[in-house]
Amino acid sequence: MQDVIASYYFRPRSDTKPEQAAQAICEEQTTGTWTDISTRAEYVKRFDGSVESLVKQGEGYLARIRYPAEIFEPGNVAQYLSVVAGNLFGLGRLDSVRLMDIELPDTLTRFKGPKFGIAGVRRLIGSKDRPHVGTIIKPKVGLNPEDTAAVAYQAAIGGVDLIKDDETLTDQKFCPIDRRLPLVMKRLEEAKDETGREVLYAVNISHRADQIIGRALHAIDLGANMIMIDLFTTGFGALQALGEDPRIKVPIHVHRTMHAAFTRNPEHGIAMRPLARIIRMLGADQLHTGTVSGKMSHDAAEVKASIEVLKCACAGMKPAFPVSSGGLHPGNVAHEIATLGTDIVLQAGGGIHGHPDGTAAGVRAMRQAVDAYMDGVNAQEYAKDHYELERALRKWGAV
């Protein structure tokens, strides 16, 4: 493949034929405009997009549109998105349009991808084939550094693999990074002395793009063993800078806060799949992809499609770790793993800290639910000999 192929689902306006609507996307995103212009030289036509296929799908149509590779600036992902996901969402000839996926030629995918990937993160933790269990510091904002570190310690002694800040916690006065991060890492070292287990802490360094590298390096100097970025609020360029900087020698955890503003509507906006493809390409080691049984709106097919592009063989890049999060608890662990596989991070906040016996017990219950699945045992049966899991199932039930 030499050019870019973008797939769109759309519904044309009632007075517009589907062929006209698809052509309108081509023209808007390449060389066309709403009226005849005197500046459109003949040689420009070679940069026109073209409709490769158009098929009826449900109430709308699925179109595959080819964009000449020459109209893309290699390495400039912001510009890539301006072509495949630009003004088309406001076109009057379309009642709705959704970018479903993109296919990029090798000339436009010369990115390094994840520095660690699934295998690299597993080496840090010391795991083989089981799902990882993660948690979020809760409440997401408000705790002081000492209490944040205390929660992290409880999670660590319970057996968690990953602890992360939530999306709204960065470097506020009530819990500054300079105080929070060293305290958390100190308590994790204490837990490691007791348990022998390594725990990653993804500190949220989200900030303006021109300062993101400085904040990341400062966090690493303070002892960070993982960093986290709010991708859609911080920007693709910020992630690209982190992914390409050789000084960033810790895994990058990507939170997708704000994604539903453009991914939730099944007929309009952008599906998570093409975004996941780009995020992996730019260097994410972990990315939130959603659950199939949690509190957020979810579509199992879409979640699996996102995971597929994070893990597929692609341009020599390492696969990225999908993160299932949003309303998880021990009772829906088996359903998540059965649907999404074992190369997954099961990220539970309330489903851990809300355990009747506290955070450490909540982590143990999650780990027991994972062990039950890996041993081929029903969670309710396993709970008969595992107190923490039994207490969790009694509170939240099982899917």
As a whole number of angstroms, the distance between CA 171 and CA 206 comes to 9
Measured distance CA(45)–CA(218) in Å, rounded: 49
Q: How open is the CA angle 297-168-326, to the nearest 5 degrees?
A: 25
Question: Cα dihedral sign for 206, 254, 182, 140?
Answer: positive
Residue closest to 67 by CA, chosen among 18, 110, 102? 102
For the chain, what is the largest distance between any 2 Cα atoms, rounded to a whole number of angstroms?
79
- Six token digits for residue 319: 């696969």
Phi/psi at 398 (5° precision): -135, 145
CA gyration radius for the chain? Answer: 23
Using CA atoms, how far apart are residues 1 and 95, in angstroms rounded to an integer?
31
* 3-state secondary structure at position 284: coil
Q: Count Cβ atoms within 10 A of the Cβ of residue 96 and give its class: 0-12 exposed, 13-18 middle, 19 or more buried.
A: middle
Question: Under a CB-based contact definition with an 8 Å cutoff, are residues 382 and 364 in contact?
Answer: no
As annotated, the active-site residues are 138, 255
Rounded to an integer, what distance in angstroms lies between the CA atom of residue 201 and that of residue 190?
A: 14
Q: Which residue has the tokens 């076109």?
A: 91
Q: Looking at residue 78, what DSSP letter applies?
A: H
Cα(180)–Cα(58) distance, integer angstroms: 51
Two structure tokens written together for 398:
């099982």
Structure tokens at 68: 């000449």
User: Which residues, including other chains, have CB under 8 Å from residue 50's CB and lie 6 or more apart?
Assistant: 26, 65, 66
Q: How far apart are CA 256 and CA 192, in angstroms?
A: 30
